[in-house]
């Protein structure tokens, strides 16, 4: 029998079962490993991380200046500086709503901004949405649609997921 071909003759159930198991094992071993792409969850987490970074890097701004809690002198302040790649990633993530949602989906961009602000500043999202006269279900649907458009755009552009 030529190399690379299989004998399909009926010699009993066990030989066919063995052949099928061998064929499936070969297929599984040669199948390319696919990396998970951008999902709405990943895009949302990256957007919120970027906003947290922007808040911590910029600090409070305005006419009042900085009025924070001062720590005792014996406790050192700890802050880990992100890598240049991470900073670039955060800056890019902050531009995603404008790049992928505006001008066609301005309402989705506003909802994502509201969601991210609620997460970063620890505001209650449900109460904030209700104060704007919108139902929770509508707010979450707008959020999901906006993140879906962003994640599809990132997949289309083959944006890298992991940035060290």
Q: pLDDT band at 32, cuts 50/70/90?
A: very low
pLDDT surpassing 70 at residue 98: yes
Q: What is the pLDDT of residue 68?
A: 55
Alpha helices in the chain (DSSP H): 13-30, 40-58, 84-96, 106-121, 125-131, 136-156
- Per the listing, tokens 């970074």 go with 53
Specify the 3-state DSSP secondary structure of 22. Answer: helix
pLDDT category of residue 77 using cuts at 50, 70 and 90: low
Cβ-based burial of 126 (10 A; exposed 0-12, middle 13-18, buried ≥19): exposed
pTM of the model: 0.67
- Summary mean pLDDT of the chain: 79
pLDDT in tens, 42-76: 999 999 999 988 888 876 666 655 555 555 666 66
What are 100-153's pLDDT values in tens digits? 999 999 999 999 999 999 998 899 999 999 999 999 999 999 999 999 999 999
* Residues 90 and 163 sit within 8 Å (Cβ to Cβ): no
What pLDDT does 59 receive? 65
For residues 9 and 12, what is the distance between their CA atoms, to the nearest angstrom?
Answer: 9
């Amino acid at each position: 029998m030529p190399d690379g071909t299989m004998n399909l003759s009926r010699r009993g159930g066990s030989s066919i079962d063995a052949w099928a198991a061998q064929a499936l094992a070969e297929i599984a071993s040669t199948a390319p490993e696919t990396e998970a792409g951008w999902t709405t969850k990943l895009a949302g987490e990256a957007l919120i991380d970027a906003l947290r970074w922007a808040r911590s890097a910029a600090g409070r701004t305005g006419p009042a200046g900085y009025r924070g809690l001062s720590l005792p002198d014996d406790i050192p302040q700890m802050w880990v500086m992100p890598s240049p790649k991470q900073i670039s990633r955060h800056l890019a993530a902050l531009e995603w709503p404008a790049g992928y949602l505006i001008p066609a989906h301005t309402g989705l961009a506003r909802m994502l901004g509201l969601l991210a602000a609620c997460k970063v500043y620890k505001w209650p999202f449900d109460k904030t949405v209700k104060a704007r006269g919108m139902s929770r279900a509508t707010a979450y649907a707008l959020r999901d649609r906006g993140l879906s458009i962003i994640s599809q755009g990132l997949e289309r552009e083959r944006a890298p997921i992991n940035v060290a």
